[in-house]
Every structure is written in C-alpha cells, then in structure tokens.
Amino acid sequence: MIKRQIEHELKEVMAGYPIAVVTGPRQSGKTTLTRDLFSDRPYVNFENPLTRQQFDADPIGVLNRFPDGAVFDEAQHLPDLFSFLQERVDEDRRMGMYVLTGSQHFGLIEQVSQSLAGRAGLLELLPFSLSELQLGKAQPDSLNELLFCGGYPAVYDRKLRPERWYADYTTTYIQRDIRSLRQIHDLDRFMLFLKMCAGHAGEMVNTNKWGAACGVDNKTIKSWLSVLRAAYIIDLVQPYHSNFNKRIVKTPKLYFLDTGLACHLLGIEKSDQLTTHPQRGALFENWVFSELAKAFSNTGRPRQIYFWRTHAGHEVDFIIEVNGERVAVEVKSGEMVRPEFVKSLLRWNDLSEEPVQNILVYGGTESFEMKGVHAVPWRDASEKLFQLFS
C-alpha cells in the first residue's frame, strides 16, 4: 500500500481532538487510510442502507456498541449522528475516539460546524500526489502518462486501465452523488456542462457564455458549479488582491482536482494523444494546481491558492501563501525554458511590496535558476512544492 503524506496530520488531530473528520472525493483512499491507520478500532460503513436503518431505529444502542470509539465511514448519510457524538465526547472527554469520513464536502462540513465545533479536527484527502507515487515506486514514466492516469488510487493499486476506470467512476459515483446533492432535472445536460468544464480547465469562469452553450440560465450554471465543488470534482481559484494600484480581474478560474478525470471528459483514450492535444498545456497547469492543493491538504492547511492577472495582460498562474510568505508559481509545459517564460514572474516581483520566492514548473528534466527564478522539472515539482510547507 502506498503511504499517504497526510498520515502525520491525522495522527496529530487524533491526539488533540475527540473526533477526526476526513473528507475528500469518492475513491481517494479515505477508507483504506483510516482502516489501516486505526486497525484496532471497529469499522462501520454508513453507505450500507441496513446500517443506516439500524442507527435511525436505535442511535444510542448503535453507539453503545463502540464505547472506545470507531471509524464511521460516509458519515454524511446520517446528519443526526453528529449531535449524538457531541453528547458522547463531551461526557467522555477522551481524545481520538472517533474517525468520520465523508465524500460530500459542504453538507459534512456544515454538520461538523453546527454540532462538533471545537471537538473535531478536519482534514481533506485528495488522490495520490506525484511524490506519494514516487515514494511508492508507482510513478508514471512520462508526463503524458501522469496527466492521463491522474492520481486516483484504484488506477495504481488495482492496475486498471485509466480510460475504463474513469468512465466507470463518472457513471457510478459522480452521477449518483450529483443526484443526492442537488435535484438535477436534466442529467444529460449537466454531464454536457461537466465536459465543457474540462474543455475550459484553467480558464476564468464565464457563467453567461457557458449557460448559453448548455441552454440554461446563469443561476443554473452557478448552482452546477457549487455541486461539482461539493463533490470534489472541481475547485475555483480566486484572483489575488494586493495594493499594486493596478486593475486586476475579479473572476475566478476553474480547475479540476484530478487530470485523469479531466482527460476522460475530454475524450482522451490514450496518453499518446496528449502529445499534440490542444489542451495539453492547460492540463499540465491543472496538474500543478492539483499538486498545490494536495500539499495544502496533506499538511492540514486551508487552501490559499490564487492567481494574478491585470487587465493589461500581466499574469502569474498561481500565488500561494504558506508559512507567512508568498510564493509565485508559473507553469509551462514546454521541455525547454525560454526567457519569456519568466517575464510574468519578474513583472510580479517589480510590483510586489515584499520579496517573493519564484518557481517555474516546466515539462523538461533539469533544475536550474534563471534571474532569481527556480526552474523545476515536472518530476521534481511535487516534492519541491511539498517542501514549501515544512
């Protein structure tokens, strides 16, 4: 089994809180992680309808079976569970009693905020990072293969063909979760929108244009984006606001949390197709975003990822804030670094009021420095970005 970087944070949460809550997309490894790390505890899967019925009929009786705690999987199915757990942990006062997992972000977090505030530590488990795959000696051989395979554990642990697994994942999990999260009257049109999102990954959100293309209104597009975020399919990156006295755009950008899924939605069936695919650069940028997101999640930090763009055309792909410092990250999929690749970073430095670390992640093989910018090849990017958080 590939070791997860979040293990250290999860152990710390269990040492300092009565309850640990692990959220994340379906099939990201939450069950495997929690059952392995806490193998001495009973495991209860609330995805099972019979188990849910037993709890609904006798919640106190069910909890009495686990006086020393348990792992409760897919806890979002039982909103009443959180109130009962609040009473239990307040009476018991032991740390690390319960582990809850869930794959529907907003509903689960709302329940925790209402009933378990101050009693639960929250963590988010995303699919494998490249550094996790490298430590597990499971990393893809090429950048195209990495983008195509994505990071979901089943692709690596079970040696499944990515194109087949992502097709099943879309049908089995995404569509089911969408139905449970929000009443979608036209699932076919929604799935068309999801594929459209893959075609616009790395771009600024345009709800009016996308709504017109899908035949729905602006309000519906905003609702659908909220659903996709709640299901951990996409995330929105907000523009970075500063005191640069320059007009900056205010619209967020859309990114997928996994490039393998984005490739599937784009109709890519083999990694070789990426060599000449028009979305290759956007997918590479999307992959860097996902690695940044995993670095924040695996170190237990709230995600602080932004982009910077002015109306004059100056842009930096990502600005992150970590350990009280800002780091500017530019992404280029080319295998050679050209001087123009760092122009945006240098422009950012000219306008920034404080020193900033500058990183260029590119599709080549060598690490070097150019005009104060650290050029990092894709194979080293995950480890380099994760080191920023130490």
Strands 120-124 and 98-102: unpaired
Torsion of CA 80, 86, 92, 97, to 10 degrees: 70
Q: Does the pLDDT value for residue 181 go beyond 80?
A: no
Q: What is the DSSP string of 13-79?
A: HHHH-SEEEEE--TTSSHHHHHHHHTTTS-EEETTSHHHHHHHHH-HHHHHHT-TT-EEEETGGG-T
Which region among 39-53, 258-272, 312-326 has the lowest average model confidence (pLDDT)? 312-326
Average pLDDT estimate for 143-153: 98
Please tell me whether residue 327 adopts helix, strand or coil conformation.
Answer: strand
DSSP designation for 308:
E
Q: What is the pLDDT of residues 89-124, one digit of tens each?
A: 999 999 999 999 998 766 677 778 888 989 999 999
Helix orientation angle between 187-199 and 207-214, rounded to the nearest 10 degrees: 130
DSSP bridge pairs for 320: 305, 327
Please give the C-alpha separations between residue 83 and each of 116, 219, 326, in angstroms, as whole numbers. Answer: 8, 33, 40
Torsion of CA 174, 179, 184, 186, to 10 degrees: 70
Q: Which domains does the chain have, with CATH numbers?
A: 7-124 (3.40.50.300), 130-387 (no CATH)
Closest CA to 262 of 170, 354, 187: 170
Q: Does the pLDDT value for residue 378 go beyond 80?
A: yes
Q: Does the pLDDT value for residue 247 go beyond 70?
A: no
DSSP designation for 279:
T
Q: What is the pLDDT of residues 211-222, one digit of tens each?
A: 999 999 999 999
Asked if 123 and 37 count as a contact pair (C-beta separation under 8 A), the reply is no
Asked if 152 and 27 count as a contact pair (C-beta separation under 8 A), the reply is yes
Q: What is the pLDDT of residues 283-300, one digit of tens each?
A: 999 999 999 999 999 999
Q: Does the pLDDT value for residue 241 go beyond 80?
A: no
Please give the C-alpha separations between residue 21 and each of 125, 191, 222, 224, 387, in angstroms, as whole numbers. Answer: 10, 30, 28, 26, 25
Q: Which amino acid is at 121?
A: G
CB atoms within 10 A of CB 64: 10
Contacts of 302 (CB under 8 A, 6+ apart): 296
Q: What is the pLDDT of residues 309-332, one digit of tens each?
A: 887 778 999 999 998 889 999 999
| Residue 112, pLDDT score | 84
| Residue 217, pLDDT score | 93
Please tell me whether residue 126 adopts helix, strand or coil conformation.
Answer: coil
Q: Hunting for tokens 């307040």 — which residue is that?
A: 90
